[in-house]
């Protein structure tokens, strides 16, 4: 069971019923000013960016989370505590010995999780197999401290332990060091690619013949270095040839390295989108500069980019450890590559290289509906345009429900996932949580995911997802369009308060709504079709799914409202040349974050739910 979360009057209280799988509570960049500490929650809680952290900057919940350093090392076989002398190390087989030590350098590795021991287990097994097949006197090897150097090469420390003795003799030392720089010596796992080995020659041979042994070591090192140089030249040539072959293979199958585990499933099946290289997207975003950043969230950052053809694009780059994950990446590629509608954001391509997951979309100039409602975009939305935006969005969702094959439930309809182009045509975006539905299925039983405030209460309680869940979320967006307010903020819930203002009945008298209408709409003037619009929105947010209309019915009713009101669906927006700061002071600016919000007394039962930012 996850903890109960209560957010009232800027205060945060975590209950005491914690599930074992709740490892992280991320509430960064909210308005939490008080936090009841000492509740017993021992996992990670992030409150950075809240007023609480201004008062308590030293709190462990207010510290910027640090990426963990790689700490992998080959495990030992349950060794009894042994004390080795200064020149010796404990081998994985629990023997004190003087190993050959150096660094393995990998130039074209294809993974980024350096703490995933499975990669090094495969590498260790491959190297030991090669030593045994050549009958070299090697007892075991140890791999440790993997990290990336300044050239983005992967470095791994290698210790090679002698078999049956404490130290390698000169012959064994020379043969092993030479073989480690032989590119044909070992067949490495695909994830590592070509490598070269740099020997640590400091004081390997010690004793009465130290000077002689040192000369042998230096001679072996020089000889090995010459051999390494020759092999490196051959390796570079082979690497370039292999790279050309890999590039050709990648063009044919960009998901050849897809990790087909239980969570990710089979590799994505795509249609009609481009595969971009990491370097191409790095170049078109000016090395992912901050100046090109459009926004960020739990998944990562969205950048504005310009392709060599001059086409503007938006590039969503997942960060390491992103909450989106490979499953959502795969879902969005597969769905957007086969659905095409003017009210859905178009996916142009993707990048799946070097551990990166990036999606390339058409660039939508005016940003999110949330920014346009709040005034951040520099213009106000007239009632005419708001009605047009509602119709555009509804048509996109209805297409997913009615015409996509198989039908698709979006599962995260909200104002931040509705984008507006330069003509204020609305396009539905972000399909990471979407679910395809078989034509003969009434509902899909699945874990509850979505955004608090937009969640269908019936889906929340039962875990049964239907197309009516999208209808509920869209009804909340409709109420945002008329009130200019977020669904839930400071304990206020827009659905409850609009219903209260309407007197819990259908009415054509909008006098009760003046207090909650967006001031930018100029409530003093008659707004044709407003009452019917609100009536439709309230039916969309009925608690029982059976009482809600379908999205197709919603589209038809909105079109009727537009026609009866005499609106031109292509009417132009009301614009301004003011900057955002000037807009905020203007008469039409609506503060989307103001405190004059409704009271919200609704409660939610415990459930396994993944909330989106």
pLDDT, tens digit, 9 for 90 and up, residues 2-58: 344 444 346 776 666 766 656 567 787 788 888 776 656 677 777 878 888 888 877
| Residue 166: partners with Cβ closer than 8 Å, 6 or more residues away | 88, 96, 97, 98
> pLDDT confidence of 512, banded at 50, 70, 90?
low
pLDDT the model gives residue 202: 56
pLDDT the model gives residue 325: 58
Range ranked top by mean pLDDT from 361-375, 389-403, 442-456: 389-403
Q: Which residues are catalytic, by number?
A: 412
What 3-state DSSP class applies to 449? Answer: strand
pLDDT the model gives residue 304: 96
- Tokens representing 310 are 């001059």
- Domain spanning 255-363: which superfamily? Phosphorylase Kinase; domain 1 (3.30.200.20)
Helix (H) or strand (E) holding 46: strand 44-46
Helix (H) or strand (E) holding 581: helix 580-585
- Domain spanning 368-611: which superfamily? Transferase(Phosphotransferase) domain 1 (1.10.510.10)
> pLDDT confidence of 339, banded at 50, 70, 90?
confident
Residue 542, pLDDT > 80, answer: yes
Tell which wins on pLDDT, 251 or 435: 435
Q: Could you tell me the pTM of the whole model? A: 0.54
Tell which wins on pLDDT, 312 or 336: 312
| Residue 52: partners with Cβ closer than 8 Å, 6 or more residues away | 12, 32, 33, 34, 35, 59, 61, 62
Lowest mean pLDDT among 55-64, 200-209, 433-442, 595-604: 595-604
Asked if residue 255 lies in contact with residue 268, where contact means CB atoms within 8 angstroms, the answer is yes
Lowest mean pLDDT among 126-140, 149-163, 262-276, 360-374: 262-276
The domains of the chain are located at 5-62, 89-252, 255-363, 368-611
> Which contacts of 273-277 are long-range, i.e. CB under 8 A and separated by 24 or more positions?
273/333, 273/336, 273/337, 273/347, 273/348, 273/349, 273/350, 274/348, 274/349, 274/350, 274/360, 275/250, 275/251, 275/349, 275/350, 275/351, 275/352, 276/349, 276/350, 276/351, 276/358, 276/360, 277/351, 277/353
pLDDT the model gives residue 587: 35
Tell which wins on pLDDT, 609 or 78: 78
pLDDT tens per residue, range 269-306: 555 678 899 999 999 999 999 999 988 876 789 999 99
Ligand-binding annotation for 316, yes or no, is yes
**Dihedral sign from CA coordinates of 339, 340, 344, 345:** positive
Residue 111, pLDDT > 90, answer: no
Range ranked top by mean pLDDT from 144-148, 414-418, 517-521: 414-418
Tell which wins on pLDDT, 342 or 521: 342
Same fold, 255-363 and 368-611: no
Unique residue bearing structure tokens 């952290």:
53
Bond before 591 cis per omega within 30 degrees: no
pLDDT the model gives residue 258: 46
CATH number of 89-252, picked from 3.90.380, 1.10.3470, 3.40.630, 3.30.70: 3.30.70
Average pLDDT for residues 552-576, to the nearest whole number?
A: 74
Helix axes 210-252, 170-179, angle to 10 degrees: 20
73 DSSP β-pair partners: 144
pLDDT tens per residue, range 82-105: 778 877 888 998 889 999 999 998
**Helix %, strand %, coil % of the chain (to 5):** 35, 20, 50
Query: What one-character-per-residue DSSP string does 118-187 give?
Result: HHHHHHHHHHHHHHHHTT--EEEEEEEEEEE-TTS-EEEEEEEEESSSSB--HHHHHHHHHHTT-TTS--
Q: What is the largest CA-CA distance in the chain?
A: 104
Mean pLDDT of the chain: 78
pLDDT the model gives residue 229: 83
């Amino acid at each position: 069971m996850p903890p109960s979360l209560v957010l009232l009057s800027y205060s945060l209280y975590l209950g005491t019923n914690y599930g074992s799988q709740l490892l992280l509570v991320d509430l960064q960049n909210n308005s939490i000013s008080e936090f009841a500490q000492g509740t017993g929650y021992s996992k990670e809680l992030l409150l950075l960016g809240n007023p609480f952290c201004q008062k308590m900057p030293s709190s462990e919940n207010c510290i910027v989370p640090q990426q963990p350093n790689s700490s992998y090392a080959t495990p030992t076989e349950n060794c009894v505590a042994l004390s080795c002398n200064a020149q010796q190390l404990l081998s994985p087989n629990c023997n004190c010995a003087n190993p050959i030590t150096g660094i393995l350098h990998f130039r074209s590795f294809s993974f980024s999780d350096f703490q995933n021991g499975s990669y090094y287990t495969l590498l260790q097994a491959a190297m030991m197999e090669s030593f045994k097949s050549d009958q070299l006197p090697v007892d075991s090897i140890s791999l440790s401290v993997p990290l990336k150097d300044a050239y983005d090469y992967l470095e791994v420390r290698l210790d090679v332990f002698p078999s049956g003795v404490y130290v390698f003799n000169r012959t064994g030392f020379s043969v092993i060091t030479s073989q480690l720089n032989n590119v044909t010596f070992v067949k490495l796992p695909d994830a590592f690619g070509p490598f070269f080995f740099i020997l640590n020659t400091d004081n390997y041979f010690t004793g009465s013949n130290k000077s002689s042994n040192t000369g042998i070591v230096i001679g072996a090192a020089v000889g090995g270095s010459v051999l390494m140089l020759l092999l490196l030249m051959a390796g570079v040539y082979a690497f370039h040839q292999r790279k050309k072959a890999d590039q050709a293979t990648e063009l044919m199958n960009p998901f050849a390295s897809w990790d087909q585990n239980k969570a990710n499933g089979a590799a994505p099946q795509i249609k009609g989108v481009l595969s971009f290289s990491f370097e191409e997207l790095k170049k078109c975003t000016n090395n992912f500069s901050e100046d090109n950043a459009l926004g960020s969230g739990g998944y990562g950052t969205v950048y504005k980019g310009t392709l060599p053809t001059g086409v503007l694009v938006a590039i969503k780059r997942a960060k390491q450890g992103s909450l989106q994950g490979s499953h959502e990446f795969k879902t969005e590629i597969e769905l957007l590559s086969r659905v095409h509608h003017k009210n859905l954001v178009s996916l142009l391509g993707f990048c799946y290289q070097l551990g990166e997951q990036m999606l390339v979309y058409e660039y939508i100039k005016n940003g999110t509906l949330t920014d346009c409602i709040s005034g951040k975009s520099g213009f106000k939305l007239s009632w005419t345009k708001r009605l047009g935006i509602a119709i555009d969005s509804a048509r996109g969702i209805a297409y997913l429900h009615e015409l996509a094959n198989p039908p698709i439930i979006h599962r995260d309809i909200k104002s931040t996932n509705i984008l507006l182009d330069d003509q204020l045509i609305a396009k539905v975006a972000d399909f990471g949580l979407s679910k395809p539905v078989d034509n003969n299925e009434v509902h899909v039983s699945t874990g509850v995911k979505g955004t608090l405030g937009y969640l269908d209460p019936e889906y929340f309680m039962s875990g049964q997802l239907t197309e009516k869940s999208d209808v509920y979320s869209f009804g909340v967006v409709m109420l945002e369009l008329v009130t200019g307010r977020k669904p839930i903020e400071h304990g206020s819930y827009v659905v409850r308060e609009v219903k209260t203002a309407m007197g819990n009945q259908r009415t054509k008298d909008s006098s009760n709504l003046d207090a909650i209408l967006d001031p930018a709409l100029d409530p003093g003037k008659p707004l044709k079709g407003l009452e019917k619009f609100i009536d439709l929105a309230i039916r969309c947010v009925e608690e029982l799914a059976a009482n809600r209309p379908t999205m197709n019915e919603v589209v038809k009713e909105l079109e009727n409202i537009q026609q009866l009101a005499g609106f031109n669906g292509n009417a132009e927006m009301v614009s301004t040349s003011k900057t955002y700061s000037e807009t905020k002071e203007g008469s039409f600016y609506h503060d989307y974050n103001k405190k004059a919000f409704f009271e919200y007394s609704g409660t939610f039962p415990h459930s396994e739910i993944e909330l989106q930012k």
